[in-house]
Structure 1
Amino acid sequence: MRIVDSADWRDRLTYETPYRVAEVMPGDAARCASCPADAAPYDRDDLWAVKHRHPTNHGGYVRFYCEAHVPERTQPVAPALRSAPARRSTPRPAAPRAPKAPAASDVVRAMCPDCFVEVSAAGECGLCGTRV
């Protein structure tokens, strides 16, 4: 089974950009997300659709806004360029590194030749008693 995203009209919208609702999703009159709940619905030509980012849904969410409440389009801010630090004229000598100790899972331990189990630190097999 292959899981894919569904084709949806909201996928065509870019984040934080206002679009006329009638152009992206025709239909009946709708309400503004910022107006009071008892406000009358607006015609879709008078509403703006804005796709917002959501912290847990990668597709975001879309809200409809009237002319009075439509948010301004936010332009992404370019990160400030930092000047490169001054380079030293002579290269720094490499610091000597101590060899890493092997991980506990990498250490080869003694095995019993008859039972093929790891023997204790005393060198005696716990199953058959053979000394290794």
Structure 2
Amino acid sequence: MKIVASADWRDSVPFENPVLLADVVPGEATRCFTCGPDSELLPRTELWAYKHRHPKNHDGYVRFYCAYHVPAAAIVPQPAAAAPTARAKSSSPRPAAQRRVAKPVVPERVRAMCPNCFIEVSATGECGNCGWTAS
């Protein structure tokens, strides 16, 4: 099955970061995914939208969780700021790179073709399909 991308409210939910459901999409009361279908309906102000990563769908998938079952936000490590390195300028200029001479282009050899089958014949000059021989 081919999965295609679509544009809707799920695009505004960040990956692995809980967002209050009422802030993302308005609507009627619904249930927590973990509590199951037999649980009571909860207002959207008490539910959290959480976008999970999916191995085959780059857009991921969204589940609704109550405050008790909401997954913790993923901790994203901040990359360390690279210390600026002072580059010492050399007093002597670099030598210019030598240009290479381009190789001559050799055209492909015209090969014999069978006039009956329109396929290339072997090096012996005989067509492997119909038996025609080049003279």
Question: Could you say which residue in structure 2 is the equivalent of 1:75?
Answer: 75
Give the aligned CA root-mean-square deviation in angstroms: 3.2
Matched, 1:122 2:117: no
- The sequence identity of aligned pairs, in percent, is 49
Q: Which runs of 5+ in 1 are unaligned?
A: 80-106
Distance across 2 between alignment mates of 1:50 and 1:15: 7
Q: Which residues in structure 2 correspond to 1:1-132 (within 5 Å)?
A: 5-77=5-77, 108=109, 110-111=111-112, 115=115, 118-124=120-126, 126-127=131-132, 129-131=133-135
Preserved contact between residue 112 and residue 134 of structure 2 (Cα < 8 Å): no
Distance 1:123 1:33 in 2: 72
Structure 2 portions without partners, runs of 5+: 80-107
Q: Measured at CA, do residues 70 and 130 of structure 1 come closer, stay the same or move farther in structure 2, by a change above 3 Å?
A: closer
Give the TM-score normalised by the residue count of structure 1.
Answer: 0.60
Q: Is the 8 A contact 2:20 2:49 kept in 1?
A: yes
Amino acid at match of 1:111: A
Q: How many residues get paired?
A: 101
TM-score (norm 2): 0.59
Contact 1:109 1:118 survives alignment (8 Å) = no
**Over 4 Å off, 4+ runs:** 107-110
